[in-house]
Each structure stands twice: as structure tokens, then as C-alpha cells.
Structure 1
């Protein structure tokens, strides 16, 4: 079960449940994949009007890899995310929020 206190988000990919998490390594991979010069630049891209579906997939891919998934973007391009586009966008948003949320005291 995904633990939101540790930044985990659950998703179903090709009928199999996974936990995604934006670890520091996953964020670095995402920054590189998006060609962002900084975390701030990357996050602002998600907050602005320039968000692309490939950005959402890149964020989900990084989160899955941070959660231990061994696939890559090409695998994700051909996968079915349960809930479709709306769920994928919601998962991406939750991953970002949890990654930058302060730990509970």
C-alpha cells in the first residue's frame, strides 16, 4: 500500500499495482529528461500553461523508477494507466505535491 507520508502514490499500470515516489534520483532524472536547468524551472513548467502530455508521462516514469520499477519511458508509452489521462494527471500532481511537502512533525 502506498504511504503518502513517505511521498508514495499508487497507480495501476497494465493491470499491476505499483508505488511511485519522487526520490532525489528520480527528480534528477526528471530534470534531465525535461531539459530543465533547476528544480524551480521544472516545477514552474508543471504550474504554468506550457504543460505537455510528455511532461506528465516523464513525471510518472520518474516516480515509478523512484518506486523501484525497472521500466523506462518507452515501456510507459505503450502501457495502460488505469483511469486514463485524468488519473495520470492526478497521479503526476500528487507526486509533485508530496515530493515538496514538508515532513510532518
Structure 2
């Protein structure tokens, strides 16, 4: 069971709810992965709505590790998300909203420009 007051959300895998939370350590991991130097810059990076599949993997993996699961990004990439790609995107957005607040609605990722 997740606790929204602690910033927790759930990732659904084969009908099982795995808790996710972006702890300070998980946020530092994402700052490094996205090459930003502050939490506001990280939040702005996510609000842009231009998230790649790799971004979604990093966000979900950091959230799972923040909640105590020992898992590598490569393992997250191989998971079968309930709802497929849309389920993974919704889980990542829900985690970001739980962490950064819901003041500004998150937009779905845009496909890269060719």
C-alpha cells in the first residue's frame, strides 16, 4: 500500500503494485542523469513534456530504488508494465506529480522531432 503523503505512488507490474518514491538520494541520482544542477531545474526538465523512453526508465528505476527495491535501469527496461507503454508513462508522471506537486499539469511526452 502506498502513502501519498510521503510522496509514494505505485507501479503496476502483472497486477502487483510496486511502491515508488523519489527520496533525496533518488532526486540526486536524477539530477546527475539529466545533467541539471538543482531541483527546480530538474522539475523544469520534467514539465517540458519531452520525455524519452530512456527518461521514463530512469524515473521509474529511481522511484523503485527510492522505495527500497534493488533494481537496475536495465531491469526496469525489461519489465512488462500493466497498460504497456501508456502504463509506464502514467506511472512516471504520477511519481513526478507526487514529488513535485500537482500545481502544473504534466503533459505527455512528445515524440522526438525528425
Query: TM tier, shorter chain?
Result: 0.7 to 0.9
Question: Where do 4+ consecutive residues of structure 1 move more than 4 Å?
Answer: none
Give the root-mean-square deviation of aligned CA atoms: 1.6
Q: Which residue of 2 aligns with 1:85?
A: 85
Q: Which residue of 1 aligns with 2:70?
A: 70
Q: Deviations over 1:40-95 (max 9, x none)?
A: 22221221153212111111111000011101101111111111111111111111
Deviation at residue 14 of structure 1 after TM alignment: 5.3
Larger helix share, 1 or 2? 1
SS at match of 1:71: coil
The TM-score, its normalising length taken from structure 2, stands at: 0.78
Deviation at residue 16 of structure 1 after TM alignment: 4.1
Task: Identify if the C-alpha distance between structure 1 residues 100 and 49 changes in structure 2 by more than 3 Å, giving closer, same or farther.
Answer: closer
Q: Unpaired segments of 5 or more residues in structure 1?
A: none
